[in-house]
Amino acid sequence: MKKILITLGAALALTAQAAGSFPDKAVNIIVPFPAGGSTDTVARAMALSMGEQLGKPFVVENRPGATGMIGMEAVAKAAPDGYTVGVMFLTHTVLPALFGKVPYDTVGSFAPIANLVWLYNALVVPAAMPAQNAREFIEAARAQPGKLTFGSGGNGSPAHLLGESFRQSARLDLLHVPFKGPAEAVQGLLGGHVSSMFATTSVAVSQVKAGRLRALAVTSPARLAALPEVPTLAEAGITGFDMKEWEGIVAPAGTPPEIIAQWNRELTRIMALPEVRERIAALGMVPAAANSADEFTALVRSELQTWTRFVRTTGIKAD
């Protein structure tokens, strides 16, 4: 009898064939944003480690568009066999309330596997902008009502939510400019097409260190190790921004529980590797503690309720 390889999962419950190794072919990881953003970065770090550990290709496929809905629809419609998974993130719990209808059920169309990372954001502006801190930016915005803008990776994206919260809390007249993903939004900021944006620290750190962007404040409750010199918004007198993003892996609904469990165990092992944690920390992210599929499912449900209330309370709309 052939020796069974170390696997992510047991034989697929969807078939009546003899037990086999999983994966025995390439695994597809759908990222619903263009290459270059934080979501893509996390997926590629994970795919690299998974491929090295399991000896099969883990291929990242970027399916951008419609604030991530195109990619997530592809995940929802994929065969529930463990060979196609996708990266779900906070935005997907906002979109139903923002748009009224999405091409899948945010909870029912997916089988959550595990949350991978937590992310915080930094309020960044072009290095050429005179404002040196959040207070100076607020003063500049108040002196020029309707002139300054904030970019985001799309309607309902965390950058959109944070920008709108910041605008309302500071009573500013800022115009939202949505782009087709966070990487494109950063390029728009670098090109001077927008005045500011809330960028994940994974994206902001390299641009700030290169001197192309200036970080005015971070949204975390305490200063971040990746940007220790940058004060929090609370330090600037702006409260209510203790918001952290999350990014995890989901499979199509109907994927056998044993496959989900094996995926979860392997992800937990991969995310505990020192080299993976160092890679993620260097990007300004915080690796999530080991969590079960049920715990991730509960997080998705809770976030869906939270952001539905937020959209209704603030009156935020898709631009």
Domains in the chain, please, with CATH?
27-118+245-314 (3.40.190.150), 121-218 (3.40.190.10)
Q: How many CB atoms within 10 Å of residue 72?
A: 28
CA atoms lying within 13 Å on the CB side of residue 311: 22
pLDDT at residue 11, rounded to an integer: 32
pLDDT at 14: 37
pLDDT of 201: 83
| Contact call for residues 244 and 72 (beta carbons, < 8 A) | no
Per-residue confidence (pLDDT) for residue 236, from 0 to 100: 85
Asked if 254 contacts 82 with a C-beta cutoff of 8 angstroms, the reply is no
Give pLDDT tens digits along the chain (319 positions): 333 323 333 333 333 332 346 788 999 999 998 887 778 888 998 899 889 888 899 999 999 988 899 999 999 999 999 999 999 999 899 999 989 889 999 999 999 999 999 988 999 999 999 999 999 999 999 999 999 999 998 888 889 989 998 998 889 999 999 998 888 999 999 999 999 999 988 788 889 999 999 999 999 888 888 889 999 999 988 887 667 889 999 999 999 999 999 999 999 999 998 988 888 887 778 899 999 999 999 999 999 999 999 898 888 877 6
**How many angstroms separate the CA atoms of 207 and 219, rounded?**
18
